[in-house]
């Protein structure tokens, strides 16, 4: 196939079907993934990097004698695909010789057919490259001119345009089209040699109508500049166990990092903290936690996956229902192991990555309490926002970093304090949830989740009140030694 | 190791089959780079750089205490940088493509030119002038190239069994053995023509110990070597198991402000990452480095010497030339506590009015950035036990899971794989223990360094005793 011939869906599926027909015997999965990506980075008024990338090829998985083999090729002709099938089959056979027991073969299921295209409001193709570069320049300039303390600014726009064809020897034949744009704005403010920075970011599935549905690029620029400036005179958080109100982006980080990873069925099989707990109470009864390939409540979530990379239609999975652990997240292999249906959570980042069990859009369902009422009802604690990064452990101990902390005293919200790190045991924290807000937002769609390979995910929910451990910052040294 | 260069000709004369094949791949990759360069010039580019890669890999993976599978791949990739205009009006565009058919490469050139024509001008858009490049030994081992999928699976299984034989409570969540050899080639309109091939074996384990309801914290090991004879997966398996089981039965830590020993992994994650970001010439020029005005001044305690050396024979971060085709070198970043050098790639050097230092890094997928190669923190004189004795009471931070603000140096996060210390002995693993501080305020408070260097892929680092850490216990 020439590069331009990829526009013909039938032509690509013919190639994959012919390759499958000539390779009887092993279970095979062929996935042709053509990814075109653009990114534009402007820093301090200068275009630092703009690039177009195209990463295209076929990934082949073979299942032979209870073991998996994988091979990939960037050549898109039949002989190259047949060579990759042969390499994957031989790799699987080599793995089988090293195993003590056979792995569960992928469970059978009904496959979606035809073309599945993620919804997009104002498609990315509606703006020229020159206009996208101009937008990034304008946004960077908006940061720089937003205040006298701003010493450095940057803005990065990036987009992933994906087209995939998946065919398996047990009947999957599907074509998937998806676009995911992202905008990140950074402001650095300085006073007396001290530097503070703030990043505002949005990442969605769809088009510009989705990327800027909640706020414009200029609004993001102004907030980044204001927050970085305010942080220069902000105080530090008191360390220790505290009552906290988590904003939707921090809720997203909590459910993704602290719970979501422990219910990925491959982690469960390795002995994660969620192993053996199906049917048990693991959270407050106010908590219902889900992972969905679709964008529930608000359109444009960044982790939309209509059909996963095993060709399975993505389901909405209720992981925790009113505090009770109900389900794990599965691919076709773990579904076979647990005797359940696959949930559409098998994802591969690019053609040369093997599909793994991954989250998509993970969230807590909204409750009934307004944020103002949660604050008014809190004697002492912190409202935390500005989720940065996080990690979780096998024992459900998590840590994540937030960029903004606001004290709550006697039902009143105080001024911005510097960010901090939160830790705790995820299930203990979810059991401590005693208020669930009524306003839902997706707010974790920029950036990537890492698990050997990246994945675009999103997460969110309403505001939550719970108890967690905060790291103290400078100025709280007198918190002292408790030995 | 084979190197092709228009300056000095082939640098090795080995004639074994893997080496001959590597030479052939170098020539083929370089030919494509030159062809693309000439096409881009014909299409109107004033300057062109084409970076080509050809990589062959064989991996075996572990999952849930079993061999999961094996994988092989062979890929080509090209990164094309074009510059239109000259001097203060020079504009840059970049495109990556992983195909080498004419239509795909022509489309990539057109995309790169379209970006360049839409981009704003910048003085830094000028490719570097050629400099002589020398071969570096120990980067290519034909015995590594000869490893098969069966060999990789065998190594992974041996690593798994070595870990499980130490203690059956140790559970391997995932693991891998990755065997690779790769060719890089660069052709530029300034006359650089270079190609090189290296090989590597990497392996790692990730998992925890599980004893009934007691699930220990995650532990991991990872190793990388270029020399076939240095492959020792069983040693890694045993180390992993011993470290993972030591994390069972954690208890609460205590809150204090005071001394702590940072294991090499933790010191690298917090201190060396912030230092690397702060000696980056681009961060310095943009005012995003706390060290921007500190050249020639003391930034760390006496005895603290940090060297970057991309010419280290057999080094995991070594290569004869950088992402722009300039030779790597040895650079003293910090000598006896005093900041000596910042590092630059060609574009940043041009903007800053300084010579490039051979620190352009990156793959074919993006424009070159700035990065270090092999980093070494000079060891001290104390054994591990003597270092614990010097600490007396406090915390050993094994790994760090948190955030390091590379601009300010502020860090806060969870101390993972960490132990309470009393009377110079580790007493128990701690849980939910947060640490916080500032890298640049703590560097002058480095009290001691261990005498044993640990190799963390391309970083050699001892354990380091630092005073003034803020520790917050959760429970």
**Per-residue 3-state assignment (H helix, E strand, C coil) for chain A:** CCCHHHHCHHHHHHHHHHHHHCCCCCEEEEEEEEEEEEEEEEECCEEEEEEEEEEEEEEEEEEECCEEEEEEECCCCHHHHHHHHHHHHHHHHHHHHHCCCCCCCCCCCCCCEEEEECCCCCCHHHCCHHHHHHHHHHHHHHHHCCCCCEEEEEEEEEEEEEEEEEEECCCCEEEEEEEEEEEEEEEEEEECCEEEEEEEEEECCCCHHHHCCCCCHHHHHHHHHHHHHHHCCCECCCCEEEEEEECHHHHHHHHHHHHHHHHEHHHHHCCCCCCCCCCCECCCCCCCEEEECCCCCCCCCCCCCCECCCCCECCEEEEEECCEECCCECCHHHHHHHCCCCCCCEECCCCCCCCEECCCEEEECCCCECHHHHHHCCCEEEEEEEEEEEEECCCCEEEEEEEEEEEEECCEECCCEEEEEEEEEHHHHHHCCCEEECCCEECCCCCCEECCCEECCEEEECCEEEEEEECCCCCCHHHCCCC
Q: From the CA of B381, how many Å to the nearest CA of chain A?
A: 30
Q: What is the mean pLDDT of residues B226-249?
A: 96
Distance CA A87, CA A190 (A): 56
Distance CA B148, CA B157 (A): 14
Distance CA B140, CA B133 (A): 17
Is the Cα torsion angle B126, B131, B137, B143 positive or negative in sign?
positive
Whether residue A5 is predicted with pLDDT greater than 80 in this model: the reply is: no
CB-based contact B94 A52, cutoff 8 Å: yes
Whether residue A472 is predicted with pLDDT greater than 80 in this model: the reply is: no
- 3-state SS assignment for residue B429: strand
Cβ contact A421:B413 at 8 Å: yes
Report the residue from B366, B407, B432 with minimal CB separation from A424.
Answer: B432
With an 8 Å Cβ cutoff, is B38 touching chain A?
Answer: no
With an 8 Å Cβ cutoff, is B290 touching chain A?
Answer: yes
Whether residue B2 is predicted with pLDDT greater than 60 in this model: the reply is: no
Whether residue B374 is predicted with pLDDT greater than 50 in this model: the reply is: yes
- 3-state SS assignment for residue B85: coil
In degrees to the nearest 10, what's the CA dihedral of A442, A444, A445, A448? -160
Distance CA B395, CA B388 (A): 10
Distance CA B387, CA B396 (A): 10
Distance CA A437, CA B323 (A): 51
Q: Give the distance, in angstroms, between the CA of residue A212 and the centroid of all CA atoms in the same chain.
A: 18
Q: From the CA of B213, how many Å to the nearest CA of chain A?
A: 9
Residue B190, judged by CB atoms within 10 A of its CB (0-12, 13-18, 19+), counts as middle
Closest CA to B208 of B254, B172, B235: B172
Residues of B in contact with A241 (CB under 8 A): 474
Say what the pLDDT of residue A481 is.
31
Whether residue B473 is predicted with pLDDT greater than 90 in this model: the reply is: no
Query: Which of A232-236, A347-351, B24-28, B404-408 is predicted with the least confidence, judged by mean pLDDT?
Result: B404-408
**Closest Cα in chain B to A88:** B71
Measuring CA to CA, how many Å separate A340 from each of A266, A272, A274? Answer: 14, 19, 17
Residues of B in contact with A75 (CB under 8 A): 99
CB-based contact A270 B402, cutoff 8 Å: no
Number of C-beta neighbours around residue A250 at 10 A: 32
**Closest Cα in chain B to A75:** B99
Phi-psi label, residue B131: left if phi above 0, alpha if psi -120 to 50, beta otherwise: beta
Task: Indicate the pLDDT class of residue A31, thresholds 50, 70 and 90.
Answer: very high
Query: Which of A83-87, A421-425, B152-156, B387-391 is predicted with the least confidence, judged by mean pLDDT?
Result: A421-425
Task: Indicate the pLDDT class of residue B6, thresholds 50, 70 and 90.
Answer: very low
CB-based contact A271 B210, cutoff 8 Å: yes
Give the pair of three-digit tokens for residue A229: 């400036």
CB-based contact A133 B366, cutoff 8 Å: no
CB-based contact B156 A151, cutoff 8 Å: no
Whether residue A3 is predicted with pLDDT greater than 50 in this model: the reply is: no
pLDDT tens digits along B289-340: 999 999 999 999 999 999 999 999 999 999 999 999 999 999 999 999 999 9
Closest CA to B156 of B66, B255, B24, B218: B66
CB-based contact B150 A51, cutoff 8 Å: no
In degrees to the nearest 10, what's the CA dihedral of A283, A284, A287, A292? 10
Q: From the CA of B393, how many Å to the nearest CA of chain A?
A: 11
* Residue recorded with tokens 């331009």: A4
CB-based contact A97 B153, cutoff 8 Å: yes
Cβ contact B297:B338 at 8 Å: yes
Distance CA A387, CA A459 (A): 11
Residues 98-117, chain B, touching A (beta carbon < 8 A): 98-99, 101, 103-104, 107-108, 111-112, 114-115
CB-based contact A393 B407, cutoff 8 Å: no
Higher pLDDT, A393 or B231: B231
Residues of B in contact with A473 (CB under 8 A): 410, 412, 436, 470
Count contacts between A and B (CB, < 8 Å).
273
Q: From the CA of B175, how many Å to the nearest CA of chain A?
A: 10
CB-based contact B68 A95, cutoff 8 Å: yes
Measuring CA to CA, how many Å separate B444 from each of A317, A368, B53, B198, B301? Answer: 52, 52, 42, 39, 4
Residues of B in contact with A270 (CB under 8 A): 63-65, 171-174, 207
Q: From the CA of A350, how many Å to the nearest CA of chain B?
A: 12
CB-based contact B67 A98, cutoff 8 Å: yes
- What does chain B come to in residues? 475
Residues 293-352, chain B, touching A (beta carbon < 8 A): none
Q: What is the mean pLDDT of residues B365-383?
A: 97
Number of C-beta neighbours around residue A111 at 10 A: 18
Give the pair of three-digit tokens for residue B202: 């990497």
Distance CA B60, CA B71 (A): 6
Say what the pLDDT of residue A7 is.
52
Task: Indicate the pLDDT class of residue A477, thresholds 50, 70 and 90.
Answer: very low
Give the pair of three-digit tokens for residue A130: 């020159």
Residues of A in contact with B290 (CB under 8 A): 195
Cβ contact B30:B185 at 8 Å: yes
Task: Indicate the pLDDT class of residue A479, thresholds 50, 70 and 90.
Answer: very low
With an 8 Å Cβ cutoff, is B472 touching chain A?
Answer: yes
Say what the pLDDT of residue A473 is.
61
Distance CA A431, CA A425 (A): 10
Round the average pLDDT of chain A to a whole number and report it. Answer: 92
Whether residue B5 is predicted with pLDDT greater than 60 in this model: the reply is: no
Round the average pLDDT of chain B to a whole number and report it. Answer: 93
Cβ neighbours for A265, distance < 8 A, ≥ 6 positions apart: A328, A329, A330, A331, A334, A335, A337, A338, A357
Task: Indicate the pLDDT class of residue B64, thresholds 50, 70 and 90.
Answer: confident
CB-based contact B432 A423, cutoff 8 Å: yes
Say what the pLDDT of residue A239 is.
80
**DSSP per residue, B88-132:** GG-EEEEEEES--SHHHHHHHHHHHHHHHHHSPP-TT--PPPP--
Residues of A in contact with B410 (CB under 8 A): 473
CB-based contact B96 A53, cutoff 8 Å: yes
Residues of A in contact with B90 (CB under 8 A): none
CB-based contact B99 A480, cutoff 8 Å: no
Residues 345-384, chain B, touching A (beta carbon < 8 A): 365-367
Report the residue from B69, B434, B436 with minimal CB separation from A70.
Answer: B69
- DSSP code of residue B138: T
pTM value is 0.91
Cβ contact A256:A461 at 8 Å: no
Cβ contact B467:B394 at 8 Å: no
Whether residue A2 is predicted with pLDDT greater than 90 in this model: the reply is: no
Give the pair of three-digit tokens for residue B72: 């092989």
Is the Cα torsion angle B310, B314, B315, B321 positive or negative in sign?
positive
Say what the pLDDT of residue A240 is.
84
Measuring CA to CA, how many Å separate A304 from each of A164, A234, A261, A289, A448? Answer: 15, 37, 18, 17, 13
Q: From the CA of B147, how many Å to the nearest CA of chain A?
A: 13
With an 8 Å Cβ cutoff, is B427 touching chain A?
Answer: no
Distance CA B342, CA B405 (A): 19
Q: What is the mean pLDDT of residues B55-76?
A: 94
Residues of A in contact with B95 (CB under 8 A): 51-54
Closest CA to B349 of B330, B368, B321: B368
Name the CA radius of gyration of chain A, rounded: 24
Say what the pLDDT of residue A281 is.
97
């Amino acid at each position: 196939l020439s590069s331009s011939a990829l526009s013909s869906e039938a032509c690509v599926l013919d190639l994959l079907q012919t390759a499958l027909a000539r390779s009887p015997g092993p279970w095979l999965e062929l996935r042709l993934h053509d990814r075109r990506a653009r990114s534009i980075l402007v820093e301090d008024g200068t275009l630092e990097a703009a690039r177009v990338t195209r990463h295209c090829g076929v990934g082949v998985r073979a299942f032979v004698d209870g073991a998996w083999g994988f091979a990939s090729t960037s050549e898109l002709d039949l002989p190259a695909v047949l060579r990759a099938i042969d390499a994957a089959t031989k790799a699987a056979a080599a793995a089988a010789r090293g195993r003590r027991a056979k792995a569960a073969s992928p469970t059978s299921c009904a496959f979606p057919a035809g073309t599945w295209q993620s919804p997009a409001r104002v498609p990315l193709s509606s703006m020229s490259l020159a206009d996208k570069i101009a937008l990034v320049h304008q946004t960077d300039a908006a940061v720089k001119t937003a205040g006298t303390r701003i010493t450095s600014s940057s803005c990065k726009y990036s987009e992933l345009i994906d087209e995939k064809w998946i065919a398996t020897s047990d009947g999957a034949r599907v074509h998937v089209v998806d676009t995911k744009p992202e905008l990140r704005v950074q402001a650095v403010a300085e006073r007396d040699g001290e530097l503070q920075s703030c990043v505002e970011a949005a990442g969605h599935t769809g088009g510009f109508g989705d990327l800027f549905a909640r706020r414009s690029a200029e609004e993001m620029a102004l907030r980044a500049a204001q927050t970085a400036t305010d942080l220069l005179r902000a105080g530090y958080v008191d360390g220790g166990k505290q009552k906290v109100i988590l904003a939707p982006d921090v809720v997203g980080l909590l459910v993704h990092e602290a719970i979501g990873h422990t219910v990925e069925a491959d982690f469960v099989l390795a002995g994660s903290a969620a192993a053996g707990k199906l049917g048990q109470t693991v959270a407050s009864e106010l908590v219902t936690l889900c992972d969905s390939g679709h964008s529930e409540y608000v359109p444009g979530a960044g982790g939309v996956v209509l059909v996963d990379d095993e060709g399975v239609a993505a389901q909405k999975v209720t992981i925790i229902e009113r505090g009770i652990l109900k389900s794990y997240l599965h691919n076709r292999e773990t579904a076979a192991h647990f005797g359940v249906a696959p949930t559409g959570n098998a994802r591969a980042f690019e053609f040369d990555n093997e599909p793994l069990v991954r989250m998509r859009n993970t969230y807590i369902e909204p409750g009934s309490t307004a944020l103002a009422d949660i604050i008014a009802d809190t004697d002492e604690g912190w409202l935390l926002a500005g989720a940065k990064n996080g990690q979780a452990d096998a024992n459900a101990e998590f840590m994540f970093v937030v960029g903004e902390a606001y004290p709550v005293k006697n039902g009143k919200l105080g001024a911005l304090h510097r960010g901090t790190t939160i830790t705790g045991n995820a299930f203990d924290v979810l059991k401590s949830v005693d208020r669930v807000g009524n306003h839902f937002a997706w707010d974790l769609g920029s950036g990537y989740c890492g698990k050997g390979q990246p994945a675009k995910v999103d997460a969110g929910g309403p505001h939550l009140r719970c108890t967690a451990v905060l790291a103290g910052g400078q100025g709280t040294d007198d918190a002292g030694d408790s030995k | 190791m084979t190197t092709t260069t228009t300056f000095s000709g082939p640098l090795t004369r080995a004639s074994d089959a893997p080496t001959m094949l590597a030479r052939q791949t170098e020539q083929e990759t370089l030919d494509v780079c030159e062809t693309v360069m000439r096409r881009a010039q014909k299409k109107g580019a004033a300057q062109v750089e084409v970076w080509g890669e050809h990589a062959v890999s064989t991996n075996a993976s572990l999952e849930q205490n079993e061999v999961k599978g094996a994988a092989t791949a062979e890929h080509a990739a090209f990164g094309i940088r074009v510059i239109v205009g000259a001097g203060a009006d020079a504009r840059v565009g970049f495109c990556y493509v992983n195909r080498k058919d004419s239509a795909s490469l022509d489309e990539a050139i057109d995309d790169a030119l379209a970006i360049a024509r839409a981009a704003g001008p910048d003085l830094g858009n000028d490719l570097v002038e050629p400099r002589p490049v020398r071969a570096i030994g120990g980067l290519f081992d034909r015995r590594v190239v000869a490893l098969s999928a069966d060999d990789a699976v065998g190594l992974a299984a041996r690593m798994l069994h070595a870990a499980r034989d130490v203690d059956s409570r140790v559970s391997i969540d995932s693991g891998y053995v990755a065997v690779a050899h790769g060719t890089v080639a660069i052709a530029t309109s300034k006359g650089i023509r270079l190609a090189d091939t290296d090989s590597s074996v990497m392996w790692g384990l990730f998992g925890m110990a599980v004893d009934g309801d007691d699930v220990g914290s995650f532990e991991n090991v990872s190793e990388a070597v270029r020399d076939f004879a240095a492959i020792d997966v069983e040693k890694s398996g045993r180390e992993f198991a011993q470290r993972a089981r030591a994390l069972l039965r954690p208890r609460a830590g205590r809150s204090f402000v005071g001394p702590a020993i940072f294991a090499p992994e933790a010191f690298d994650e917090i201190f060396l990452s912030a230092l690397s970001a702060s000696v980056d010439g681009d961060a310095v020029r943009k005012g995003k480095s706390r060290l921007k005005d500190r050249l020639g001044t003391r930034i760390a305690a006496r005895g603290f010497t940090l060297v970057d050396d991309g010419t280290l024979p057999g080094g995991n971060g070594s290569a004869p030339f950088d992402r722009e085709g300039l030779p790597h070198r040895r650079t003293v970043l910090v000598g006896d506590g005093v900041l000596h050098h910042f590092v630059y790639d060609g574009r940043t050097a041009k903007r800053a009015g300084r010579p490039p230092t051979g620190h352009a890094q990156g793959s074919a997928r993006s424009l070159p950035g700035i990065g270090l190669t092999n980093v070494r923190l000079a060891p001290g004189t104390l054994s591990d036990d003597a270092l614990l004795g010097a600490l007396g009471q406090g915390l050993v931070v094994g790994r760090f899971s948190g955030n390091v603000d590379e601009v300010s140096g502020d860090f806060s996060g969870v101390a993972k794989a960490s132990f309470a210390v009393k009377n110079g002995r580790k007493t128990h693993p701690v849980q939910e223990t947060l640490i916080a501080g500032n890298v640049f305020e703590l560097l002058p408070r480095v009290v001691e360094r261990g005498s044993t260097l640990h190799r963390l892929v391309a970083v050699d680092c001892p354990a380091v005793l630092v005073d003034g850490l803020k520790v917050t216990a959760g429970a």
